[in-house]
C-alpha cells in the first residue's frame, strides 16, 4: 500500500498544472489502472516537441489522434501527415463501443464522442488542396541541401539564383531551374563567366542529375504556383475549434526524397514566416509527422543539420513538432534530445538486435523506482504507453505507465462519399487547385535562346548569300575586264586597218593627181 500511496502522490504532484492541459489517460501501477489518477500534458510546453514511438499495431496512430483532437477542441490547429491513410476518421464522431466504455471506466474518465473540423491537403493525385512552393522560395541554401550538393555545386546554385535575381528571371518550378542551367552552360556561358566567374560543366551535369532524381519521384509536382501560404494552417472554425489539416501521403511512401523535401520546406517556411512569440499558454500550431523514419533515412548530413536547427528554433514561433515512428533510434540523437514529450508504446524483442534496441530505448527515459522499463516496454498492451513530458517549469515529469483514453472520433477511415462531402466545403481547394503557369525563367530563356538561334540562322543565310553574290560579282568583273581588253584590241586593230586603207586611198589619189 505504501508503494501505491507514494506512487499516487508522485503522479498527482508531477501531473498537476495551473494552466490548460490535455488528458492522455490514466496512470497504471503493477499493470493495473488507478481510477481518477490522470496523466495530463501542459499545453504550455507542447511547443517543446514530442515523440510517439512503438511497434506496428501498438496504438501510435490513435495516440496521435487523441492529442490532435484535444488540441482542436482547445482552439489549436494541427497539421497531420497521413502516410498510411488512417487519420481521416478524426473528422467524424466515434460510433462508440463497449470496449471504449470499459476502458474509460477503468481510467475514471467520461467518454464524449465528437469530430474535429478537417481540411484535406495533397502533394500528389490524392484529393485535397494542392501544396506547392516555388524554387525561389526555397532559396539557394535549402535547395542545395535538398539536392545533396557539395560546396562547389552549392556555390553554382547560389550563382544561378543571383543571376536570375539580377536579370528578372522568376524561378518557379524545376523546369525553370533546368532551363537556366542549360542556358548558362551554352548560350549564356560567356555572359555569366564575365559577371560571376567560370562554371564547371561537370558540376552543372551533377546538379542536373540530382534534379532529374527528384523529378523521377514526382517532385516537380510540388514546385510551382500557386504557393501554399502557411498561415492557412493556423485556421479555426466558426466554433473556435482548431482545424486539423491532413496531408494525404499514401501514394508517396516509396518516394522518400519528395517527402523529406516537402517536410523541410514546410518547416523552413513556417520558421521564416511566423513571428517570434516565445512560450505561450498553448501552441499556435502542432505538426505531426507520421512514419518519421522516412524523413531521416534518406537525408544527407546537411539535411539532418538543417532539420536539427529548425527543430531547435521553431519552438519560439509557437510551433510544436511531434515525430511518430517505430523506435526512438529512428530519430537522430541531436533531434531526439529536443523532444520534451515522449509517449512510448510497446516494442517487440524478436532478435538479439531488438533486445539491444529496447535497452537503448529505455535509457531515453527518466529513472523510476516503480517500473523495470526495459522489461515493461515489451509487455505493454495495445493502447498503453510509457509517458513523460515537461511540466510548466520545463522539468521532466515522472515516467508513468499509462492506459490511454480512446479517441473521441472514428478510429477508421472515412468513406469516399464522406471525403467528397468534406472536399466540397473546402475554400482552400478552390484557391490552390487552379493551374497557373505565368511567364518565368523557362519561357523567357526559351524565347531568348530561340531568338538567338533565329538570329544565328539569319546571319548564316545572309553570310551565305553575301558569299554567293561576291563570287558572282567577281566573276562578272573578270569577264568585263577581259571583254574590255578584247574590245580595245579589236578596235585598235580595226582602227589601224581603216587608217591604213584610208592612207592608201588618199596616197593613191594623191599619187594620181601628182
Minimal CA–CA distance to 74: which of 242, 248, 271, 258? 242
List, in order, residues 6 or more apart from 440 with CB less than 8 Å away.
169, 170, 171, 172, 173, 176
Which long-range contacts (C-beta less than 8 Å, at least 24 apart) are formed by 107-110? 107/25, 107/26, 107/33, 107/35, 107/38, 107/403, 107/405, 108/26, 108/35, 108/36, 108/37, 108/38, 109/23, 109/25, 109/26, 109/38, 109/405
pLDDT of residue 215: 83
Report how far apart, in Å, the C-alpha atoms of 159 and of each of 139, 141, 152, 193, 301 are.
11, 11, 11, 10, 23
Per DSSP (E only), the strands in 110-160 are 118-122, 129-130
The residue with greater pLDDT, 90 or 446, is: 90
C-alpha distances out from residue 292 to 52, 67, 183, 240, 260, Å: 10, 17, 38, 30, 9
Report yes or no: 281 and 44 within 8 Å, Cβ to Cβ.
Answer: yes
Instruction: Tell me how far apart the alpha carbons of residues 441 and 462 are, in angstroms, rounded to a whole number.
Output: 31
| Mean confidence (pLDDT) of the chain | 84
Do the strands 78-82 and 244-248 form a parallel or antiparallel pair, or are they unpaired?
Answer: parallel
Under 8 Å between Cβ of 139 and 264: no
Beta-carbon contacts of 199 under 8 Å, excluding residues fewer than 6 positions away, are 156, 159, 184, 185, 189, 192, 193
- Percentage helix, strand, coil for the chain under 3-state DSSP, each rounded to 5: 50, 15, 35
Element (H, E) at 470: helix 441-513
In tens, the pLDDT along 126-157 reads 889 988 888 888 888 888 877 878 889 999 99
Cβ burial of 311 (10 Å; 0-12, 13-18, 19+) is: buried
Rounded Cα distance between 246 and 289, Å, is 11
Q: Are the CB atoms for 147 and 210 separated by under 8 Å?
A: yes
Q: Averaged over 430-437, what is the pLDDT? A: 82
Residue 486, pLDDT score: 45
User: Quick check: 40 and 387 in contact, CB under 8 A?
Assistant: no
How far is the C-alpha of 68 from the C-alpha of 232, rounded, in Å?
Answer: 17
Asked whether the beta carbons of 123 and 260 are under 8 A apart, the reply is no
Show Cβ contacts of residue 2 under 8 Å, excluding neighbours closer than 6 positions.
none
Is the pLDDT reported for residue 167 higher than 70?
yes
Task: Return d(Cα 431, Cα 227) in angstroms, integer.
Answer: 10
Q: Answer whether the bond into residue 456 is a cis peptide, omega within 30°.
A: no
Reported as a single tens digit per residue, the pLDDT across 458-505 is: 777 777 777 776 666 555 554 555 455 445 544 555 455 444 544 444
Tell me the pLDDT tens digit for each residue of 406-429.
Answer: 999 999 999 999 999 999 999 899
CA angle 105-110-113, nearest 5°? 115
293 pLDDT higher than 70: yes
Is residue 53 within 8 Å of 37, Cβ to Cβ?
no
In terms of DSSP bridges, do strands 384-388 and 400-404 run parallel, antiparallel, or are they unpaired?
antiparallel
Place of cell 522518400: 256
Reported as a pLDDT band with limits 50, 70 and 90, residue 361 is: confident
- Whole-prediction pTM value? 0.81
Select from 249, 327, 325, 324 the least CA-distant residue to 287.
Answer: 324
Amino acid at each position: 500500500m505504501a508503494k501505491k500511496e507514494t506512487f499516487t502522490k508522485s503522479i498527482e504532484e508531477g501531473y498537476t498544472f495551473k494552466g490548460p492541459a490535455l488528458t492522455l489517460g490514466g496512470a497504471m501501477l503493477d499493470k493495473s489502472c488507478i481510477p481518477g489518477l490522470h496523466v495530463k500534458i501542459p499545453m504550455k510546453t507542447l511547443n517543446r516537441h514530442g515523440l510517439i514511438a512503438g511497434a506496428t499495431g501498438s496504438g501510435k496512430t490513435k495516440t496521435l489522434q487523441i492529442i490532435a483532437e484535444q488540441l482542436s477542441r482547445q482552439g489549436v490547429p494541427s497539421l497531420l501527415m497521413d502516410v498510411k491513410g488512417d487519420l481521416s476518421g478524426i473528422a467524424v464522431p466515434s460510433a462508440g463501443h463497449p470496449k471504449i466504455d470499459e476502458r474509460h471506466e477503468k481510467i475514471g474518465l467520461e467518454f464524449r464522442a465528437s469530430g474535429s473540423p478537417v481540411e484535406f491537403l495533397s502533394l500528389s493525385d490524392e484529393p485535397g488542396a494542392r501544396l506547392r512552393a516555388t524554387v525561389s522560395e526555397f532559396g539557394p541554401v535549402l535547395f542545395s541541401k535538398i539536392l545533396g550538393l557539395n560546396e562547389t555545386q552549392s556555390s553554382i546554385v547560389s550563382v544561378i539564383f543571383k543571376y536570375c535575381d539580377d536579370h528578372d528571371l522568376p524561378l518557379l518550378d524545376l523546369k525553370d531551374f533546368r532551363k537556366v542551367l542549360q542556358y548558362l552552360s551554352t548560350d549564356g556561358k560567356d555572359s555569366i563567366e564575365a559577371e560571376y566567374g567560370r562554371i564547371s560543366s561537370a558540376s552543372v551535369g551533377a546538379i542536373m542529375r540530382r534534379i532529374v532524381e527528384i523529378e523521377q519521384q514526382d517532385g516537380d509536382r510540388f514546385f510551382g504556383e500557386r504557393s501554399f501560404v502557411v498561415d492557412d494552417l493556423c485556421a479555426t472554425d466558426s466554433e473556435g475549434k482548431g482545424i486539423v489539416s491532413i496531408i494525404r501521403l499514401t501514394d508517396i511512401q516509396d518516394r522518400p526524397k519528395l517527402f523529406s523535401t516537402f517536410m523541410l520546406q514546410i518547416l523552413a517556411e513556417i520558421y521564416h514566416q511566423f513571428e517570434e512569440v516565445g512560450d505561450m499558454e498553448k501552441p499556435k500550431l502542432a505538426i505531426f509527422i507520421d512514419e518519421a523514419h522516412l524523413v531521416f533515412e534518406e537525408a544527407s548530413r546537411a539535411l539532418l543539420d538543417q532539420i536539427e536547427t529548425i527543430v531547435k528554433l521553431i519552438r519560439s514561433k509557437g510551433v510544436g513538432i511531434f515525430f511518430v515512428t517505430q523506435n526512438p533510434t529512428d530519430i537522430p540523437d541531436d533531434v531526439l534530445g529536443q523532444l520534451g514529450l515522449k509517449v512510448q508504446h510497446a516494442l517487440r524483442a524478436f532478435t538479439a538486435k531488438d533486445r539491444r534496441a529496447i535497452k537503448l530505448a529505455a535509457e531515453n527515459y527518466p529513472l523510476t523506482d516503480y517500473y523495470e522499463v526495459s522489461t515493461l516496454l515489451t509487455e505493454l498492451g495495445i493502447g498503453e504507453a510509457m509517458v513523460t513530458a515537461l511540466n510548466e517549469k520545463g522539468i521532466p515529469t515522472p515516467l508513468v505507465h499509462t492506459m490511454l483514453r480512446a479517441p473521441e472520433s472514428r478510429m477508421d477511415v472515412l468513406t469516399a462519399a464522406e471525403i467528397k462531402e468534406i472536399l466540397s466545403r473546402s475554400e482552400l481547394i478552390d484557391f490552390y487547385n487552379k493551374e497557373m503557369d505565368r511567364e518565368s525563367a523557362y519561357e523567357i530563356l526559351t524565347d531568348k535562346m530561340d531568338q538567338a538561334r533565329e538570329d544565328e540562322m539569319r546571319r548564316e543565310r545572309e553570310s551565305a548569300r553575301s558569299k554567293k553574290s561576291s563570287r558572282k560579282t567577281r566573276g562578272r568583273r573578270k569577264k568585263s575586264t577581259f571583254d574590255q581588253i578584247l574590245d580595245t584590241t579589236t578596235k585598235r586593230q580595226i582602227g589601224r586597218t581603216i587608217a591604213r586603207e584610208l592612207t592608201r586611198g588618199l596616197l593613191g589619189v594623191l599619187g594620181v593627181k601628182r
